[in-house]
Every structure is written in C-alpha cells, then in structure tokens.
Structure 1
Amino acid sequence: MIDNMFNISEIIAGFFTKSNTEEERARLKEWLDQSDDHLKLFANLSDYQKFEEWEALHANFEKKADWRGIHKAITGRAPIKKVYKTLAKIAAVLLIPLFLGIWIHKSNNDILLNNTVVVPKGVQHCLTLSDGSRVWLNTGTKFTYPRKFNSKKREVLLDGEAYFEVTPGLKSAFVVKAGEMDVVVVGTEFNVRAYREDKEFRITLNDGKVKVRSQNEEVILNKNQQASLTPDNELVIDRNIDASIYSAWRNHSLSYKDQTLKTITEDLERYYNVKFKFEKPELSHIRFSINVQRFNDVYKLLDLLKETGKIDYTIKRETIIIKENRPK
C-alpha cells in the first residue's frame, strides 16, 4: 500500500511538471475516480490561484525528491534529522488541503456541513449528491454542496460548468446558484456554464423544465432552450437549439456549432492547461464547427483547425500563438 502511495505521488508530481506518460495519466484518472477525497486533495494541491498562501510552499516543495526522501525515511535509509524535515514538508502540503476543502455554516441552531470540490484544469469529475442527483463537473470548476440536504431546501453553489441530473419526486426544489443567476428545478437534466472569470452565465435545458432567475426577471425554459445573462443582467432566451452540443463535454467530446475561436480556445486552456494568444485580434472572431472526441494533447486538434486553411499556429515560451495562414 505504501509503495502504491508513493507511486501515485510521483504521478501527481508528473502532472504538475507535464512529464507523465499516457499510461501514468490513465492511472491518475483511475485514482481520482476512486474517491471524492482523492479529488479534493488533488484539486486543493493544484489550485494555486484560489489558495495564494500556498505559493511560497509550493515554490520550495520539490515533489518527487521529497517523496523519495520520505520513502527512504520509512525504509530506514535516511538520517533522522532529514526524516523530520521531510515529514514536516509532507504534512504541510497534504494535511492543510483536507481542511480547506470543507467548511461549516451555522443557521437556526442547525449545523450544515458543506463540501467544496475544486476541479483542476485538465480534469473532470462526477459525483452523486445525498438526494441521488448526479453532477458532472467540468474542468476548472468550483462546486459547493451539502453533505446531506435537509428537508427545507436543496441548494448548491457553482463557479464553472456542470451538468445536472436532478432526482425528481421530492418536496423541496433543487436550486443552483451560479453567479448572478439562480436555476430552480424539481426533476430534470440541464447544463450550467458560469465561469466567473469569463463573465459568462448560460443555462441549457436538455430535458424537463426549469425556472431561471436573475436580479431583474424570471423565465421558464423548456427542452432544447437556453438562457444567457448579458452584462446588464438581462436574460436572453434562445428557444431553438440542440442542447446536446452544450453538454457534450461530459462525454469527453469537443462539440461546437459555428462558435468563435475565442470561445473554443478558452475551453482548450482549461482542458489542456495551456495558454493561447492571438497574433491579431480579428483572428479570435473566426468561427468553426467541431465534433470530435477530445485528443490527449491539444496539438492534434490545432492541426485539424490548421487544415481548414483559416489559421496557423506556433509555440513560443509555452504559449500557443494563433496566427494567419500564410500560403507558402
């Protein structure tokens, strides 16, 4: 068991240094799927922006070297002073996130214990809530939910993108609070996109019926309809869409219909943990329609886009530069 733990730790270290093989990436995914606790630990370790106080610690923490050091300590092949120094580092990195992932809220003398899951870039996760509802969390998403819903309400918080299959037949409505919008449902399937940094809030209904509330208005959505929130807090309704396109990500597909390259690259940054830059601003407005399974690396997709003749790309200091396709 100990050897397996250290093996996983080296694979996690390889994720951060982008040095894992395809087999190691598969093992990491299998380990993450085994337990929500695994995902919470991994997410908190990799969520540098949300937990800035870790930056100095992570900057000095040589993951692979330290794990090898602790392994030597356990097997008796390291000096005792080094044992304590290594143990202190490991404890600081591993124990802190276990507490950061959980917070307690007191209301009306009741204690409501909530879990917060932060899904890192390049990772997706599926979980089942206490009422039986299932939630798929897309990459780069923060999701807060009660360990157990009470009889009065079922309420969750979302910053990112998620697909919901809500258990029907319960007395309390299911409420998703996403930025400036609330989605109120009884039993249905829908996709919510609400990445705070993108300032984009969108609800797409796959089945059933939902109520969408903003600060200024309230609308009802039916199957294959979509509501988007403008910067002025107005709800814009599209009543004739193919909802499956907007939730294809949960099946590890890249599906876009006449979508701008800016929107596509924003998703790719999250999926592959890369950075994009446009040589000219107008290139970000070029539109593509795509429907493919997600590749293991982003460059296979970029090569497909390049074959259309609309763009070219180059790589400079770990940033992908989108540029004009200049005939040779």
Structure 2
Amino acid sequence: MEKEYYKNLAEKYFAGNITEAEISELAGWIHNNVQLSDWWEEEFEKSDTDIPLALRNKMFARIKAEVLNEPVRIPNTKPAGRPPRKALVPAWARWAAMICIPIFIAFFTYNILSISDTDIQSPFIVKADKGDKATVVLPDGTDVILNSASQLSYLRDFGKNERRVQLDGEGYFKVAHDTRHTFIVQVGELEVKVLGTVFNVCAYQDEQDVTVVLLEGKVGVHTPSSSLIMKPGEKMNYNKSTHKFTTEKVYPEDYVTWTKGSLYFQNESLDNIMKALSRVYDVTIHIDSPRIAKERFTGTIPGGGIQNALNIIMLTSPFRYEVKDSVIVLKEK
C-alpha cells in the first residue's frame, strides 16, 4: 500500500498535478533514504548517453533541487559567442519527461523491494522553522498545520497497525476517521488518542505545560499513571513536573487563531507570551525584569509584526521595550 502511494505521488509530480504537501512527502521519502537517493542518481547518470553534458548537468541540478531539495552547482558550459534563443518549453523539461518517468517507474517497481528493516524504521520528518508554518497531509488523509518552531514525525509503517505521530511544538489536527486504526499524537510520555476528530496540541519543550484543546469529536489523553476523556469545548493542561491533569471549558476556536495568523492568550504570563512571539516572528526577546515576566495578559493579537504585538500588550502591561543589537529588551516603565 505504501509503495503504491509513493509511486502515485511520483506520477502526479511529472503530470504536474501534485500539491506542495505531496511534493514535500515525496522529497522526504527519497531524501531520507540514502540507498534510494543514490540509486536515483546512478540511474539518471546512465539514462541516456546521447544527452549533451551541459544539458544533463542542468537537468540533474533542476530535478535534485525540486525533488531532493539539494541545490547543485552547475558548471558554466555556455558556448561563447552564441546568442541566446527563446523556447516555449525548456529543453531539460522535454528530456525529463522522456527519461525521468521511466526511471521513477523502475525506481518504485523494483528497488523499494530491497529496503531494509532499518530503513523502514527511519521516520518522515516535517518541520516548521521559526517565523514559518507548515501544512502536511498524512497518508491517511489527516490534515495537520504546524506552528512556528514545530516538528512532526511518523514512521513509514504509519497506518499499518496504528496511526502514530510524534509532535514537538504545536499542531492543529483534522484527523481522518478510521475506526480500525487509532490515531495517536505522542508527546513525551503523554498520548492523545482519537479515531477521527479536530483538536489542537501545544507541547513545546521549553514550556512547563502540554495543552490539548478539543474542537470536535472525542479524545482520550493518557500517561503511564493516569488518563482522561475530553469533550468538545474543553482545554486540558498537563504539567510535566507534577504529572497532573487540569481541565476547563473554553471557546476552542480562540486557541486555533494562530492557523489564520493571529495569536490568542488566556491569562498567560509575559514570559510564555514572549517565547511564543519569538517563535512566530523569529526574533530574540529578553525580559529585563522578573516582575515583568510574571505579568499576565488576555486577548487576541492580530497579525502585523512584532512591534504591533508588543504595542498591543503594552496597553495593559507595565513595560517598555528597546532594540539592542537586533535583540528586543523588555524593561519596566
């Protein structure tokens, strides 16, 4: 099933009807497996000896950049004294259509069969860097949006017995319904188990609490020593130090405004808020006063940049800020 899935992705790539998320999956499949990546390169090199060397270099660089996400230097082989010609279809694209489709067919038909058990256990990893977000569609059709500085990983046998992913950071999940395979979000010792539902998990390593907000359906949250069942409209906090659960009723849509570019905080400390802002806007923020760090803020901050966010929080919090050597410093008024 998995081999057929990625074969279809390869065919969609060359047909030109593949999504950005599917390109990311295909690239991850090839790029994360050295054996398959090396084979791809060898097959391309011997695919057609009649192709001019300059054109072959350009083709291979372009395909590696797009499929393997590996920029390659192209030697300067442009003939001197020859005027450039315009073409409706680049030569490399015409050759790629003839060469790369058969390569991919052979690639997925024969060589995946030789993947070792070790290769199968190497995970797919999707990352959202600071200042960015990432969207991925899992093999079962589950939609995931990752917030800034977050990572999602899952093994290649995803969906065979269970649908398990590991999360570091924050993710918004729309889980495809499947009564035969439980969907599990693993965060350290904590597991969020569902069959099909909509929820948000926030679990950054530098924060004390893991939070789960349930929008639709029902989820079970489990640790080695305890568990609870959540209902829509509930927010669960799990303290990593005390290993205790607390729950409260909330308006869940507030907690997923980040997927649309806004931020919502409910009685949150400025210390945690500044950590969130530093991830979202990829800036360094230093709080110069312990008293400021303990101040709390409730409200929604629309998109508009770091200065706009700080100015909104300043309306109700007693601090000012300065910028020193690209570092934002919060000081008492």
Instruction: Give TM class, smaller chain.
Output: 0.5 to 0.7
Aligned with 2:296 (options 266, 269, 287): 287
Q: Residue 227 of structure 1 aligns to which amino acid in structure 2?
A: M
Q: Residue 186 of structure 2 aligns to which amino acid in structure 1?
A: K
- CA displacement, residues 47-68 of structure 1 (integer Å, 9 cap, x when unaligned): xxxxxxxxxxxxxxxxxxxxxx
The equivalent of 2:76 in structure 1 is 73
Aligned with 1:269 (options 275, 278, 285): 278
Contact persistence 2:175–2:197 (CA under 8 A): yes
State yes or no: 1:106 paired with 2:117.
Answer: yes
Contact persistence 1:32–1:39 (CA under 8 A): no
The 1:270–1:75 alpha-carbon spacing in structure 2 relative to 1, beyond 3 Å, is farther
The 1:242–1:76 alpha-carbon spacing in structure 2 relative to 1, beyond 3 Å, is farther
Q: Residue 304 of structure 1 aligns to which amino acid in structure 2?
A: I
Summarize the alignment of residues 42-57 of structure 1 with structure 2, pairs less than 5 Å apart.
none
Q: TM-score, normalised by structure 2?
A: 0.64
The 1:191–1:305 alpha-carbon spacing in structure 2 relative to 1, beyond 3 Å, is same
Distance 2:155 2:176 in 1: 15
The equivalent of 1:26 in structure 2 is none
The 1:35–1:278 alpha-carbon spacing in structure 2 relative to 1, beyond 3 Å, is same
Summarize the alignment of residues 160-309 of structure 1 with structure 2, pairs less than 5 Å apart.
160-295=169-304, 297-308=305-316
Deviation at 1:197, TM superposition (A): 2.8
The equivalent of 1:321 in structure 2 is 329
Contact persistence 2:169–2:202 (CA under 8 A): yes
Q: Which runs of 5+ in 1 are unaligned?
A: 1-30, 45-68, 78-103
Distance 2:324 2:157 in 1: 48
After superposing the two structures, state which structure 1 stretch, 134-143 or 245-254, moved more.
245-254
The equivalent of 1:13 in structure 2 is none
Q: TM-score, normalised by structure 1?
A: 0.65
The equivalent of 2:143 in structure 1 is 134
Aligned with 1:119 (options 128, 135, 139): 128
Distance 2:285 2:116 in 1: 39
Distance 1:191 1:105 in 2: 35
Contact persistence 2:140–2:159 (CA under 8 A): no
Deviation at 1:75, TM superposition (A): 4.6
Q: Residue 255 of structure 1 aligns to which amino acid in structure 2?
A: Y
- CA displacement, residues 296-326 of structure 1 (integer Å, 9 cap, x when unaligned): x31122223334462210011221111122x
Distance 2:122 2:216 in 1: 30
Contact persistence 2:167–2:203 (CA under 8 A): yes
Distance 1:310 1:205 in 2: 33
The 1:198–1:152 alpha-carbon spacing in structure 2 relative to 1, beyond 3 Å, is same
The 1:166–1:314 alpha-carbon spacing in structure 2 relative to 1, beyond 3 Å, is same
Q: How many pairs were matched up?
A: 241
Distance 1:237 1:173 in 2: 24
Q: Which runs of 5+ in 2 are unaligned?
A: 1-18, 33-71, 81-114
